Amino acid sequence: MLSTMQDVPLTVTRILMHGVQVHGRSQITTWTGEGEPQRRSFAEAGTRAVQLANALRDELGVRGDDRVATFMWNNAEHVEAYFAIPAMGAVLHTLNLRLPADQLVWVANHAADKVVIVNGSLLPLLAPLLPKLTTVEHVVVSGPGDRSLLDGARPRVHEYEELIADRPKTFDWPEIDERQAAAMCYTSGTTGDPKGVVFSHRSIYLHSMQVNMAQSMGLTDQDTSLVVVPQFHVNAWGLPHATFMTGVNMLMPDRFLQPAPLAEMIESERPTHAAAVPTIWQGLLGELTAKPRDVSSLTQVTIGGSACPPSLMEAFDKLGMRVCHAWGMTETSPLGTIARPPAHAIGTDEEFAYRITQGRFPAAVEARLSGPGGERLPWDGESAGELEVRGPWIAGAYYNGPDVEPLRPADKFSEDGWLKTGDVGTISADGFLTLTDRAKDVIKSGGEWISSVDLENALMSHPDVTEAAVVAVPDDKWGERPLATVVLREGSTADFESLRAFLAGDACRIAKWQLPERWSIIAAVPKTSVGKFDKKVLRKQYAEGELDVTQL
């Protein structure tokens, strides 16, 4: 028996049309660094998206599923591209501007990008790569920047504003199959070449609905979200699409991502919500500590990308900013869990314990834990295994190039199609995920596992430690032992013995056999292109004798 419901495709086009028609007064505010920020309503941005679509089709010859890349900061023009490109039936490809040059070239060629839309301030990064981008036919430049860097460039160069000016303000949007590609992102390539993840219109639509649920970010048109997480990082965690669905105002930082301008934005524009990785919030906390600002409007902060140290969460609680922990990855669109404590824990000693987990799975994300031999482990909060997930916004394969079968490597996908996340953790009986490590980062010492994340969080709760990263290093007796690398606050007198004693003390209660013997002070923890700790760099530095290591 079939249903009597209408079969209406779930597409990015419908999100765009709804945002323009129903939430046309909502605003995208782009920080300019000096003077008045640029302000554009959803209705205005929607009209410009229509004009961009006309220009891409009529002037640049974009057709079908041609890939149109963006090499841009978070700003209103980038949002326009977010909607124009997939709505016209093409595929948005957000290039990660923090990838190494060779990986950027590989990614653009692998995706077969036809057009690149770039912010003028990023031309020094893009221009040297253009001779190697074999499929790019057009470069569209938006905003101030040195155009002379493009002199003699092989692709045709266009000005964004001139390109869309006087274009028709209507577009005959095609009726797109919701399963068709809308956007693509590449993983950060921490192991091997980056891998392409292609999001469908359907997956983006359903993911946007989840972002907006009360048990998720739960924002409304009364909110303003400071979108710090880059638009090239898994579609800014789905916020540009989700905001057009519910009318949430967006505050876009453009290239001004340093702690001081972020603090100024919060004080000036009064956002109620913000989203970014922990390293951004570590820097902002330091700025607010050194120079207090009125940040009272910002009551909700979504942190993901890597584990948030409990000490950082507590520090922001004192400032009135409630941190909500989330977990996800490129392959999960990215929202996989979010840590809203259950009703019975609110106001009790259990509440914080729930908040420092990675969070609870929504209905659309199925999860399971696999042991070392592939056995299924119970949801008991104690049995630790590799997390595997599936759902309508979870990748089932990687993009393997034009006219090539999707790539399903055995180390990333199970035989029955579940995504192997590479994260190790436990799941409670009520569906809350606690990650103890990445499978590649867990320290295997004498047949036992030591969580590098637990050690890092404990170290970063010390008042003299601003950052800490712990990696496994070879040990003749135990196989592997932890190496603790720490960034100390300016003027700190802490030494390794006192830090080790702190870990063993009442504040942390780290078991004696897990305490690091090897220690090193570093200027900063190396970061990946999306702000995560890059532990492979530390392991390489240790192996090549580049770290000044003290063994206790």
3-state helix, strand, coil in the chain (%, to 5): 30, 25, 45
Amino acid of residue 512: K
Please give the DSSP secondary-structure letter assigned to residue 405: P
Backbone angles phi, psi at 249, to 5 degrees: -70, 145
Q: What angle do CA 108, 113, 117 make, to 5 degrees?
A: 95
CA distance 219 to 546: 47
CA distance 196 to 200: 13
Q: Which of 187, 246, 426, 434 is catalytic?
A: 187
3-state secondary structure of 281: helix
Annotation says 272 is catalytic:
no
Residue entry with tokens 């399971």? 368
Distances from the Cα of 159 to the Cαs of 38, 116, 134, 140, in angstroms?
A: 18, 12, 21, 6
Query: Please, is 269 exposed, middle or buried when counting C-beta atoms within 10 Å of its C-beta (0-12, 13-18, 19+)?
Result: middle
Annotation says 444 is catalytic:
yes
Nearest CA to 531 among 314, 307, 345, 340?
Answer: 307
Annotation says 449 is catalytic:
yes
3-state secondary structure of 482: strand
Q: Which of 169, 291, 440, 444 is catalytic?
A: 444
Nearest CA to 205 among 226, 166, 178?
Answer: 178
**Residues contacting residue 552 through CB under 8 Å, at least 6 positions apart:** 496, 497, 500, 517, 518, 519
CA distance 145 to 123: 7
Count of alpha carbons within 13 angstroms of residue 316, beta-carbon side: 25
Nearest CA to 76 among 221, 212, 251?
Answer: 251
**Cβ neighbours, 10 Å, residue 545:** 8
CA distance 455 to 460: 9
Q: Which of 80, 178, 331, 388 is catalytic?
A: 331
Count of alpha carbons within 13 angstroms of residue 494, beta-carbon side: 22
Q: Which of 106, 173, 379, 449 is catalytic?
A: 449
Q: Which residues are catalytic?
A: 187, 331, 444, 449
